Amino acid sequence: MSDELRWLSTRELAARIAAKEISAREALEDHLERIDRINPAINAVVTRDDEAAQSRAAAADEALAAGAEIGPLHGVPMTHKDTHDTAGMRTTWGSPLMADRVPESDSLIISRLRSAGVNTTGKTNVPEFAAGSHTFNDLFGTTLNPYDTTKSASGSSGGVGAALAAGIQASGDGSDMGGSLRSPGSFNNVVGFRPSNGRIPHTLPGNPFAWLAQSGFMARTVSDVALLMSVASGPEPGGPGSIDEPGSVFDLPEFALGADFEPELNGVRVGFSPDLAGLLPLETEVAEVVAGTADVLAGLGAEVTDTIPDLSDADEVFAVQRALDFVTAWGPLHDAHRDRIKDSVVWNIELGLGLTGAEVASAARARARLFGEVERFFAGHDVLVLSTCQVLPFDASIEYPTEINGTPLETYLDWMRALCLISATGCPAISVPAGFSASGLPVGVQLVAKPGNDVGLLRMAHAFEAVTSHHLRHPQI
């Protein structure tokens, strides 16, 4: 059954289970068989619990046979990012320090997926403490790109991206501070969506006041991202940043199976610049592929101009807030086990520990200016379009690129600046497949909307996807 189910969307798989065309048991066994067959080549899935998943699949079939009310993802098997807590299944953050950590409760995003019927089957690989956009660690090794297994799958949701691209599953959860949903989306020819703060609220335990990092989803289609957002978003008690709209706002007719959908962007105002007017160094093939998307957008009826916002304050905002968040999350581990944490994580924590009050205040002022600039831009535009990644998938044996077109990069974050700058704005952003290099490596394009306009952003991305269909080009693995 594997060839029959491998490239189904999550919507299609859920519909077939609900219609009793296939059982939850059959869907699970097919999913596990693909992990057995494909995962050794890419190392995307790093934790499994087949026995518990089989018990849940049996229960799902029994509930359906008994006529019980079912959720929209009833019986759908899914692995989860190894930074999201899963009750009874280890969550390691890719760190040997947490190798045996088994949470007692689920993260909010996981609990909502399970309530919708998802059958948790395992965990996918991440960089140590989810730091950096290349998925490797001393605990599980390196995740490889299904389009070329000598290349990086990016990160930190790299295990999720590789699993989707390889046909292990159609969609999955992830998170994004400096591009960790969008970057692996680009590298693996799938969709990576970073929502607005509060769509999937931050809650205790953890930092409920966080805003830079966001939980979200990756999928092979925009429609599947909308489906997962419909079940996982919405306000939550104890989530002070919650957006007071239910997940049902993502349940739109054009995303449904068999929808009579005519893609168009008539009246949409686009600010377009692959390199943000020279702010970002780009590899030549990346620049060429993304530049070609302007004609696609115009062909859909959009008004495309080269007007873009001034993001000069975004570097300071991102650097300071990321450093502070690293101290909040990992400061105690750093104090106790500094010599057992990778150098880039130590650097980021110590950057936060060394910040002065004046530097934190300066970043607060910069964020206020950046907010004003974003408001000004989106008063006259619906979407900003730029490159997702500045480079093609790179050699998996290196930690990160150190130069782009001869321009040296100082830190492990510099090659992902196109993503970090957008994170600092607080805007929802999505990477959608945009094409391929001459050697067949994927390239994504990044679409950015005003904070809160998540639904509008998905609708625009859905139209782009419908007329390009790059997502249908699968790797030969």
The pair of structure tokens assigned to 389 is 């990644």
CB 124 within 8 A of CB 131: no
Q: Which of 95, 133, 154, 156 is catalytic?
A: 156
Dihedrals phi, psi of 78, to nearest 5 degrees: -155, 130
What letter would DSSP give residue 291? H
d(CA 280, CA 308): 13
The residue from 81, 123, 151, 342 that is catalytic is 81
**Whole-number Cα distances in Å, 33 to 52, 79, 117, 437:** 16, 14, 21, 31
Is 273 an active-site residue? no
Q: What does the alpha-carbon distance between residue 247 and residue 148 come to, in Å, rounded to a whole number? A: 36
> Catalytic residue at 230?
no
Helix or strand run (H / E) with residue 375 = helix 357-380
Position 369, amino acid:
R
Distance from C-alpha of 161 to C-alpha of 219, rounded to nearest angstrom = 8
In order, the DSSP letters of 432-453 are EEEEE-TTS-EEEEEEE--TT-
Catalytic residue among 180, 215, 233, 242: 180
CA dihedral 322, 374, 198, 179 (to 10 degrees): -40
DSSP element (H, E) containing 25: helix 24-42
**Spatial distance between the Cα atoms of 192 and 175, rounded to a whole number of angstroms:** 10
Known catalytic residue at 344: no
As given in the structure block, the two tokens for residue 114 are 């399970």
110: enclosing H helix or E strand:
helix 108-115
Helices (H) and strands (E) in the chain, counts: 15, 17
CA distance 383 to 426: 14
Q: What is the CA radius of gyration of the chain?
A: 21
Angstrom distance (rounded) from CA 326 to CA 329:
5
The SS3 of residue 387 is: strand
Tokens of 316: 């300071």
CA distance 294 to 289: 10
Cβ atoms 422, 377 nearer than 8 A: no
Q: Which residues participate in catalysis according to the annotation?
A: 81, 156, 180
